[in-house]
Amino acid sequence: MILLGTGDPLNEERAQSCLAVPLAGNETMLVDASSGTVILRQLRDARIALEGIRHLFVTHRHFDHVDGLAPLLIALTAVPEASITVHATSATLGSLRELLALTIPGVEDWLGEKLLWHELSPGQHVQAGDAELTPFEVDHSIECVGFRVDQNGTAMTFAADTRPCENVVRYAKGVDLLLHEAYGLESGAEQAHTFGHSTAAEAGRAAREAGVGRLVLTHLRASRYADPDGLAAEAATAFGKQVTVARDLDAYGF
């Protein structure tokens, strides 16, 4: 897994939410699409070929997770080998297609049969190459899902924007890696929950309850608001193991 973006919507120090998982046959799937043309720079810097991107799974419609969709699709129009399926829940799919119609009308026609849309249902498995993904509902301010990814006998869970919720623990049970958002410290829990997010301590508790092998924190505010070392320390205390704070372009096995 390569983290192409690890920042929250207002973090100018980092790219916004996007991660890549290599698939068999030199193919790639993405989860979320960052916040604009930065996705193309991050793909370039991670040496991920556009022609190999076969799947995009979207957690929800907030701009820091979807605004790279239009640049990505436009870039793919120039790639003869391109073929991509966009996976999201019904409400999110509708929003994505409305966004494209408003901002770059005609892009769906440009791609034609190269672009497919697939509606996700929470709890139902989806095959993407040699990986199996299971979307699950989380507790954000709008409809949002996280993903469990099972691949080649290992597993990871991506807890997208969410307040603490039982589904994260349920779908992270025994996984090798939990990638969990962290808005700030426990002292700011009320503000975090108001905006639909979790504290570092809550991420650590979820990891401990699920019995995961490793916890990595992502979707981070700028360091002037939330010190990464402080987040890691608080999460580690709750988890009982060392915790890593993600950086853009970090790669993790799972």
Of 194, 240, 249, 239, residue with least CA distance to 218: 249
pTM exceeds 0.85 for this model: yes
Averaged pLDDT for residues 183-192 = 96
Averaged pLDDT for residues 98-106 = 94
Pairing of strands 154-159, 145-151: antiparallel
Averaged pLDDT for residues 168-172 = 98
d(CA 130, CA 18): 20
Q: Is the pLDDT score of 245 beyond 90?
A: yes
Q: Domain 2-121+131-245 is classified in which CATH homologous superfamily? A: Ribonuclease Z/Hydroxyacylglutathione hydrolase-like (3.60.15.10)
Q: Is the pLDDT score of 71 beyond 90?
A: yes
Q: Is the pLDDT score of 160 beyond 90?
A: no
Q: In what order do the strands lie in the sheet with 18-23?
A: 2-5, 18-23, 27-31, 53-57, 84-88, 115-119
Percent of the chain with pLDDT over 90: 98
Q: Is the pLDDT score of 254 beyond 90?
A: no
d(CA 207, CA 172): 8
pLDDT at 51: 96
| Residue 4 backbone phi and psi in degrees, to 5 | -80, -25
Q: Is the pLDDT score of 113 beyond 90?
A: yes
Largest CA distance in the chain: 52
pLDDT at 240: 97
Averaged pLDDT for residues 156-174 = 97
Q: Is the pLDDT score of 3 beyond 90?
A: yes
Q: Is the pLDDT score of 41 beyond 90?
A: yes
Average pLDDT across the chain, whole number:
97
* pLDDT interval class at 32 (50, 70, 90): very high
Percent of the chain with pLDDT over 70: 100
Sorted by where each begins, the domain ranges of the chain are 2-121+131-245
pLDDT at 56: 98
Averaged pLDDT for residues 71-92 = 96
Name the one residue in this structure whose structure tokens are 């099972």: 150
CB 65 within 8 A of CB 17: yes
Q: Is the pLDDT score of 94 beyond 90?
A: yes
